[in-house]
Amino acid sequence: MSSDPFPFSEDITREMLDWTAMRIADGPDPTHGAQAFAALETVLGGSITEDGLGAQRAFELFTDTIVPATRPFGHPTSLSFVAAAPSRAALSFDAALGAAGIFAGNWDGGAGAIHAENQALRWLADLAGWPDSAGGVFVAGGTLGNLSALHAAREWHSRQHNTHARRAILCSSEAHSSIAAVARVMDAELITVPADDTGRMSADAAREALAGNVFAIVANGGATNCGAVDDIGGLAEIADEHGLWLHVDGAYGGAALADPEMRPAFDGIERADSLIVDPHKWLFAPYDSCALIYRDAGHGAAAHGQKAVYLDTVDKTHWNPSDYALHLTRRARGLPLWFSLATHGSRAYSSAIARTREIAAEVAEGIDGLDGLTRLLGPQLTVILFRPDGMSEEDMIGWAEVHRRSGALLCLPTRWRGEMVFRLCFVNPQTNPAQVLGVLNTLCS
Ligand SMILES: Cc1ncc(COP(=O)(O)O)c(C=O)c1O
């Protein structure tokens, strides 16, 4: 037997696992953040050498330089973009999953993992009210989920209508930027429907904008900038009438399907054709995962299944996740969600999502009570838009920067109807509303 080209001691593995356990217990440090290229290069420059630095030194670079130069989106004070709030169960499991080295592209490579991932997908499909034909796959993120769903939509439409002529996607002016990116990749036209004052696309507005070349409608199941959920039922009606595919982008907001109080906002989703929900957003899973589900999984497979002589041995009678999106090799990235759900139960999920909404409501009420702040919108799901009266754009940016750097709060400006405003988006049930309001109070002095 030839010697191991990569010797590595078990002691070092244990040291790395000790660090992992500590990191999961302590959570991320909110004062961490991006550093300039030059500062990083001073320490990391030359780390790839012919003879290697040794594991101890390389891992030290990770813990002492690389991690501190990353933004801690998983911290409860992180309220910009759509942050993350992975449960300790999901994070711990993800470390174990990495060690298991599972190929989850096809059943032969990952049967057990795929079976469990499919249970997590089924949980979501049940929340949407979808039949047994539903199924899909976990992909890396919402962008890839939207692309895979919309490619399946166009293929389905072409088969259905025996034409390749229809090349437009209809979506709200509040649709996530990934929809425009997907349209560019697919060389499809994008028809954007003006959203109403709350950022919601109504069925009437969609009907008015509908053109003859549309093959799919994208409904927001929680718009990123304002939290709006479109009129999914009304859009399903239009899709039915015109033989179109209805895709729901619930990358952020789809998690709220698990909150019985919010479920009615999604009425009509049972008639949609595809749905994405990112567990790394509001379903307490680590990066990176997007649950992509088709109401009829066969439409996904018809669009994405790859064929080649070297794939002929793949058993087509089983569930092969590679068939349901634009990918082949994949890790079982849906398993941390499965593990956390299996550990804590779906009731804990419903409660955590409902608690996050309560936190948003408490902060909204608090904003109303602060002189000098005007709440413009929300909470819609868990997004709030507000404005500090009379503050210049430059001062708003400066204020956000000070509190980001100190680790007190990540609250960045966005724009609403052209005006710079602050946006808060809650996905963490451990965010402390009083602490958030304490920081917002500094806008009033
Ligand atoms: C509604 C919505 N769709 C799609 C995406 C893209 O998801 P990802 O960043 O996982 O690609 C996002 C990201 O924030 C989103 O909020």
* Model pLDDT for residues 328-386, shown as the tens digit of each residue: 999 999 999 999 999 999 999 999 999 999 999 999 999 999 999 999 999 999 999 99
Q: Is 247 in the pocket of ligand 1 (CB under 6 A)?
A: no
Q: How confident is the model at residue 315 (pLDDT cuts 50, 70, 90)?
A: confident
Class of domain 347-443: alpha beta
Whether the per-residue pLDDT at 168 is higher than 90: the answer is yes
Task: Tell me, in angstroms, the distance from the centre of ligand 1 to residue 249's CA.
Answer: 8
pLDDT at 2: 80
Whether the per-residue pLDDT at 166 is higher than 90: the answer is no
Mean pLDDT of 138-157: 98
Pairing of strands 214-220, 168-172: parallel
pLDDT at 164: 74
Ligand 1 pocket mutation pick from 79, 144, 146, 176 by most atoms within 8 angstroms of CB: 176
Mean pLDDT of 173-191: 97
Task: Tell me, in angstroms, the distance from the centre of ligand 1 to residue 55's CA.
Answer: 35
Q: Is 221 in the pocket of ligand 1 (CB under 6 A)?
A: no
Task: Tell me, in angstroms, the distance from the centre of ligand 1 to residue 252's CA.
Answer: 7
Mean pLDDT of 146-164: 93
pLDDT at 1: 64
pLDDT at 355: 98
pLDDT at 161: 85
Q: Which atom of ligand 1 is nearest to the CA of 140?
A: 10
Rounded CA gap, 371 and 388, in Å? 9
Class of domain 94-344: alpha beta
Q: Is 141 in the pocket of ligand 1 (CB under 6 A)?
A: yes
Rounded CA gap, 92 and 286, in Å? 10
Q: Which atom of ligand 1 is nearest to the CA of 250?
A: 1
Instruction: Render pLDDT for 48-102 as a digit per residue (tens, 0 to 9).
Output: 999 999 999 999 999 999 999 999 999 999 999 999 999 999 999 999 999 999 9
**What whole-number percentage of the chain has pLDDT above 70?**
99
**Among the listed residues 58, 81, 60, 61, the one whose alpha carbon sits nearest the alpha carbon of residue 71:** 81
Instruction: Render pLDDT for 25-57 as a digit per residue (tens, 0 to 9).
Output: 999 999 999 999 999 999 999 999 999 999 999
Instruction: Render pLDDT for 259-295 as a digit per residue (tens, 0 to 9).
Output: 999 999 999 999 999 999 999 999 999 999 999 999 9
Domain ranges, ordered by start, for the chain: 94-344, 347-443
Instruction: Render pLDDT for 114-142 as a digit per residue (tens, 0 to 9).
Output: 999 999 999 999 999 999 999 999 999 99
Q: Is 145 in the pocket of ligand 1 (CB under 6 A)?
A: no
Mean pLDDT over all residues of the chain? 97
Q: Is 268 in the pocket of ligand 1 (CB under 6 A)?
A: no
Backbone angles phi, psi at 280, to 5 degrees: -80, 0
Q: Is 323 in the pocket of ligand 1 (CB under 6 A)?
A: no
pTM surpassing 0.95? Answer: yes
Exposure string for 312-343, b = 16+ CB within 10 A, e = fewer: eebeeeebbbbbbbbbeebbbbbbbbbbbbee
